[in-house]
Amino acid sequence: MPYLFTSESVSEGHPDKLADQISDALIDNFLAYDATSKVACETLVTTGQVVLAGEVKSEAYLDVQEIAREVIRKIGYTKSEYMFEANSCGILSAIHEQSPDINQGVERKNPEEQGAGDQGMMFGYATRETENYMPLALDLAHKLLIELAAIRRENKEITYLRPDAKSQVTIEYSDDNQPIRIDAIVISTQHDDFDEEGKMLAKIKDDMIKILIPRVKAQLKPELQKLFSDKIIYHINPTGKFVIGGPHGDTGLTGRKIIVDTYGGKGAHGGGAFSGKDPSKVDRSAAYATRHIAKNLVAAGLADEVLVQVSYAIGVAKPCGLFIDTHGTAKVKMTDGEIARKVEEIFDLRPYAIEQRLKLRNPIYSETAAYGHMGRESKIVTKTFNKGKKLEKTVEVELFTWEKLDYVDKVKAAFGL
């Protein structure tokens, strides 16, 4: 019997995502000036206020207030009527030095024996459902908001948009797990106040369906465009008015959107957030490593769907265990346990090895902090820090290295594919 599955996304102006982006901007600045920095930085945003808290071990000194303001400015909180504005909000920093008790468990004389920054389990997932090996519902939810942000910045076709927004996509699947159609789309977007409130909701709904949806559809392959029909149930700003939003409408915290950040409820999640953590924290680095493994296994043709779990003890380099679930889609005559043992031979999952393989000690994290950490394009970019100032620094970095299909040949050779 067909079934429905739903995933959501939130915009870069959502208060929790704003907090994530500030935390990751701090990570990038610390790593740009000291690649060995150990950082765990949390951000809270509310009406007119930003609070930074966390632990740091670094040789770098940062103007954390200006870094936070730059992020807020870039996202679009630049007007006083938003009740949260880049130049006027108060910023309190309560960042202090990392506990030596934790640090002694992580650092080693031999870097390869670097211990995990915490205990826990991390999951990676990949599926053949989309070109980027991501679940379709989440992929579409992200695309809706990326395009909505582009329309907001253009300020031409739709001129009333504000930074805060959420989306949700429900897809009907067949018994053999193939997407049949889009059942429902939810979009809630913050907007300017309308002179005539009665016309407001109708205007926003009309613009979302007639402007946003066609622009997103145009980016998709024909087989995905067919999933859109005139039978889709649209819930556009279902509460009605959405003028008050962003940190003034809801307090935002780093790390509250971990399902949006990963697979939209597909696969599994170990519970650890990503943003604000340097790569010695396996919550982040091992989640990227398991995505890298899952994606390369699926791309190599080992299975149509793969879930990878790895677990650690704090201060210990070797993982406690590796688990793989192919959901019965494996193309080789091996059990999932046998596949896991072979995968351990291909991918070194010690924290230092992950950092080196995926080049994680570079300032690559600001780009991850909105619209998902997985399923993104791996590319080389040039980034400048403290532009126009005495300490200006320009670096070339490779983004989203865990999305590369650089282990496909090794997987094929190992499994005889």
Residue numbers in the known binding site for K(+) are 42
Instruction: Give binding residues for ATP as ranges.
Output: 14, 164-166, 241-242, 250, 256-257, 273, 277
Helix residue ranges per DSSP H, 35-122: 64-75, 100-106
Numbered residues of the known binding site: 14, 16, 42, 55, 98, 164-166, 241-242, 250, 256-257, 273, 277, 281
Phi/psi class of residue 53: alpha, beta or left (left: φ > 0; alpha: ψ in -120 to 50)? beta
3-class secondary-structure state, position 42: strand
CA-based end-to-end distance of the chain:
33
Q: What DSSP designation does 140 have?
A: H
| 39 neighbors 32 (Cβ within 8 angstroms) | no
10 Å CB burial of residue 127 (0-12, 13-18, 19+) is buried
List the Cα angle 19/31/376 in 5-degree steps.
60
Q: Which residues are annotated as a binding site for Mg(2+)?
A: 16
Q: Compute CA 230 distance to the chain's CA centroid, rounded to the nearest angstrom.
A: 31
Which residues have a Cβ under 8 Å from the Cβ of 234 and sit 6 or more positions away? 184, 185, 186, 187, 205, 208, 209
Residue 141: is it exposed, middle or buried by C-beta count within 10 angstroms (0-12/13-18/19+)? Answer: buried
301 in Cβ contact with 114 (< 8 Å) = no
Q: Cα–Cα distance between 339 and 302 in angstroms, integer?
A: 9
Helix (H) or strand (E) holding 288, with range, is helix 282-299
Dist. CA 417–CA 411, nearest whole Å? 8
Both tokens of 53, joined, read 């808290």
Q: Is the separation of the CB atoms in 383 and 394 below 8 Å?
A: yes
Residues annotated within the binding site for L-methionine are 55, 98, 250, 281
